[in-house]
Structure 1
Amino acid sequence: MAEMQYYIQLFFVLVISTVAIQTLLTRKKNKKHLTPPSPLALPIFGHFHLMSKLLPAHQSFHKLSIQYGPIMKLFLGSVPCIVISSPEIAKEFLKTHETFFSNRLINYAIDYLSYGSQDFMFAPYGEYWKFMKKICMSELLGGRTIDQFRPLRQQETVRFLRLLQKKGEAGEAVDVSGLLLNLTNRIITRMTMSKTFNENDSNVEDLRNMVHDFSELAGKFSMLEYIWFCKNLHRYRISKRLKGMQKRMETMMEMAIRDRQKERKKIKENSEGSHVRDLLDILLEIHENNNTEIGIKLNKENVTSFIVDIFLAGTDTSSTTIEWGLAELINNPRVMAKAREEIDSVTGKSRLIQESDLPNLPYLQAILKETLRLHPTVPLVVRESSENCNVCGFEIPRKTILFVNLWSMGRDPKLWENPYEFKPERFMSEENKFDVRGQNFQLMPFGTGRRGCPGASLALQAVPTNLAAMIQCFEWKVGGDGTVNMEEKPSTTLPRAHPLICVPIPRFHSFPFGE
């Protein structure tokens, strides 16, 4: 027993000595190189002891920023990180010095599922990434293509509303989360692969699970991943799950590619059938062609990763934003009533809301901005420095992780009056009509610069239109005290911790949804 106490005491002496030496060395180094404020770090573990297991990372960072300021330095294990919660400082990093912070952070799960960053979303900034972005913007997310697919999106909205109407007439509660994810999945699937899934198709559930699992694994801060001697243990713990996800992903894409290749072969050889060229066609053409404009040849892993990227970026984010918007409206019936009045004044009671109506719905647009302020699509903009640099007078080493806390900026009382109140009216004045595409660093839910979200234009059409349709066509009834729990769950995106379960009560007995 005495021997055990001796070893325990020796351990604490070693820890205290290490902390003291580290503090002295850090102070000495800081005299030569200015670094942001930083809490006291533990040996090996860094600042993980300050990260709450009960809170998402952006909330832990927010609490620390209240004490240490809008820019601070943290260590995840031995990995240096800079956390920012100020639009002015964010502009310095993401605009003035953007060239140093154009790479995304890649953890083990992302690296595994993207075949070593052979995708588009997480590929390093360079010629390959530029080439893939050009394809994405010209063939899927450019203005002309978005307009071309407008009837398709309207068809899926009508299908979604009819399903809600059927459930509502029967008095059945629905899982809004699942139905919205299915809606956005179907839209993206049709836009990328001209394909639809039946409700009972196992691929639908696979897609949902894949999106959920990827967001969770990519966004979860595991202490084991950042401590060098624990990395292999971390990888062993999640490898089985990653292998299962990759196998499901490859199986779905192999079937889609095989079917498409058969269609293209028929059309080419026998002039049989017809097919509207979509993103999958473009990728397969590049895959089969050795002479691309910059010598880039896509393998099947590139094609698979790119398509999966589109699903991950376009389904979970859009459905989650609509869900948060509806939840806020249920908890704020005054805002719901005002939004419904505006929609009815534009459409009357004779037709369904259309994307073309959006310019005439300023209050709806303000609701979307207020939703994105409190519930940003991605709460943390994460980058990694590509080389040593000096920003705002601070020395930033290569391979430093940059976290820009959008969630924290959306709740800053210095930036917003009554920041925790859901008040769309704040965006109705001329001086507060913010552009949310990344030009205003106070509100940039889609990021900014060259690594900003390429799907912003599509989201700004599809999200408010579907939210407006849900407001226009239904009253929403929830159980209990009639309010919705607004707790969040850790992820790369910002999912709700609890599913939104509601009874959609139709406002019209016979609504002309149309096609």
Structure 2
Amino acid sequence: MVREGFDLLGAFNWSDHLPWLARLYDPGNVEARCAALVPRVRRFVSGIIAEHRLRGPCQKHANADFVDVLLSLDGNEKLEEDDMVAVLWEMIFRGTDTTALLTEWTMAELVLHPGLQVKLRHEIDTVVGPRRTPTDADVARMPYLQAVVKETLRAHPPGPLLSWARLSTADVHLSNGMLVPAGTTTMVNMWSIAHDATVWASPEVFRPERFVEAEGGADVDVRGGDLRLAPFGAGRRVCPGKNLGLATVGLWVARLAHAFEWGPVAGAPVDLGEVLKLSLEMKAPLTATATPRENVVGVF
């Protein structure tokens, strides 16, 4: 359903430009596919809500999650089911694609750079040890892991163009002397900024150390506080899921690197070719070997 949704978002739809043609001309079958997707989404998300209702109030069990919190709202904050479906689907839809892509890009770079993988695993082992899996709290104590994720965001930003086109409403004079006249259509190309040699030394090199202060790197806030690397945007329209996305990717990379040694598949080297759809995807999906580490617990 997520893949179908993203395919539909990226599809050209005549009715966006000529609404009166919608019922007469739909060569991509976009309208019909949208109409078929909506009830599937509703059934799926409503099923999740129903399961949580059966479990009872979140105060009565230890594994309470976001759905339980929504169900516990009362008074003016109480949400109708339609609103809960919309909120939960937005989290699933917006939080699945880019998070999965960032995890895939990170693992691809670790497969290509076994030395970095060893360094990361040493940090994870130091913090966690072999007898348990990494947790969210552990990730906060792993600066090199966070640097690896930041460097992946720099090298392969899932959203290389930060937003849809914007229209300049007034003349704007940039610090470099350039004039952006009123009426100009503009976009922020974060991929270009992240690969600019005047901003980043050797931008073609994957080097997480550039974000490790203890190794001479910079403390860059990728959540919108530093425009050299703002993959989530900045200001009022910054991505609201930035913290959840970073936490999720950090946790999964930590668990995957902790439980397995990763390597290339014989005869199928990792290809870092890119293809831009709604997000920046690997042109050839990652394939790799995962060898369980001895005396280390699994991913879960």
Structure 1 position 407, deviation (Å): 1.6
Unpaired stretches in structure 2, ≥5 consecutive residues: 174-178
The residue identity in structure 1 corresponding to 2:123 is: E
Mark the CA change 1:370 to 1:388 in structure 2 (over 3 Å): closer, same or farther. Answer: same
Structure 1 position 357, deviation (Å): 2.9
> Which position in structure 1 is the counterpart of 2:200?
416
Structure 1 position 386, deviation (Å): 8.1
> Which position in structure 2 is the counterpart of 1:426?
210
Mark the CA change 1:236 to 1:394 in structure 2 (over 3 Å): closer, same or farther. Answer: same
Q: 2:42 aligns with which of 224, 233, 250?
A: 250
Secondary structure at the counterpart of residue 445 of structure 1: coil
Q: Distance in 2 between matches of 1:314 and 1:445?
A: 14
Structure 1 position 256, deviation (Å): 3.9
1:448 and 2:234 matched: yes
Cα offsets for 1:292-332 (capped at 9, x unmatched) = 38xxx966543322211100122222222111101011111
Mark the CA change 1:365 to 1:279 in structure 2 (over 3 Å): closer, same or farther. Answer: closer
Identity of aligned residues (%): 31
The residue identity in structure 2 corresponding to 1:511 is: V
The residue identity in structure 2 corresponding to 1:338 is: K
1:238 and 2:24 matched: no
Q: Distance in 1 between matches of 2:256 and 2:170?
A: 48
Q: Distance in 2 between matches of 1:428 and 1:444?
A: 17
Q: Distance in 1 between matches of 2:198 and 2:66?
A: 44
Secondary structure at the counterpart of residue 442 of structure 1: coil
Unpaired stretches in structure 1, ≥5 consecutive residues: 1-209, 268-272
Q: Verify the 8 A CA contact 2:110 2:117 in the aligned structure 1.
A: yes
Give the structure-2-normalised TM-score.
0.79
> Which position in structure 1 is the counterpart of 2:86?
305
Q: 1:332 aligns with which of 91, 110, 113?
A: 113
Q: Verify the 8 A CA contact 1:219 1:490 in the aligned structure 2.
A: no
1:483 and 2:264 matched: no
If asked which structure has higher relative contact order (CA below 8 Å, sep 6+), I would say 1
> Which position in structure 2 is the counterpart of 1:320?
101
Q: Which has the larger radius of gyration?
A: 1
Q: Verify the 8 A CA contact 1:224 1:230 in the aligned structure 2.
A: no
Structure 1 position 370, deviation (Å): 0.6
Mark the CA change 1:344 to 1:242 in structure 2 (over 3 Å): closer, same or farther. Answer: same
Mark the CA change 1:378 to 1:351 in structure 2 (over 3 Å): closer, same or farther. Answer: same
Give the structure-1-normalised TM-score.
0.49
> Which position in structure 2 is the counterpart of 1:218?
9
Query: What is the root-mean-square deviation in Å for CA atoms of aligned residues?
Result: 3.5
Structure 1 position 263, deviation (Å): 6.8
> Which position in structure 1 is the counterpart of 2:176?
none
Q: Verify the 8 A CA contact 2:167 2:186 in the aligned structure 1.
A: no
Q: Distance in 2 between matches of 1:360 and 1:260?
A: 32
Structure 1 position 253, deviation (Å): 2.9
Q: Verify the 8 A CA contact 2:102 2:158 in the aligned structure 1.
A: yes
Mark the CA change 1:367 to 1:375 in structure 2 (over 3 Å): closer, same or farther. Answer: same
Secondary structure at the counterpart of residue 111 of structure 2: helix
Aligned length: 289
Secondary structure at the counterpart of residue 495 of structure 1: strand
Secondary structure at the counterpart of residue 220 of structure 2: coil
Q: Verify the 8 A CA contact 1:366 1:424 in the aligned structure 2.
A: yes
What does 1:112-191 align with in structure 2 at a 5 Å threshold? none
Secondary structure at the counterpart of residue 416 of structure 1: coil
Structure 1 position 369, deviation (Å): 0.8
What does 1:359-370 align with in structure 2 at a 5 Å threshold? 359-370=140-151
What does 1:58-69 align with in structure 2 at a 5 Å threshold? none
Cα offsets for 1:231-283 (capped at 9, x unmatched) = 7445763112212211211222343445556777xx8xxxxx95687544665
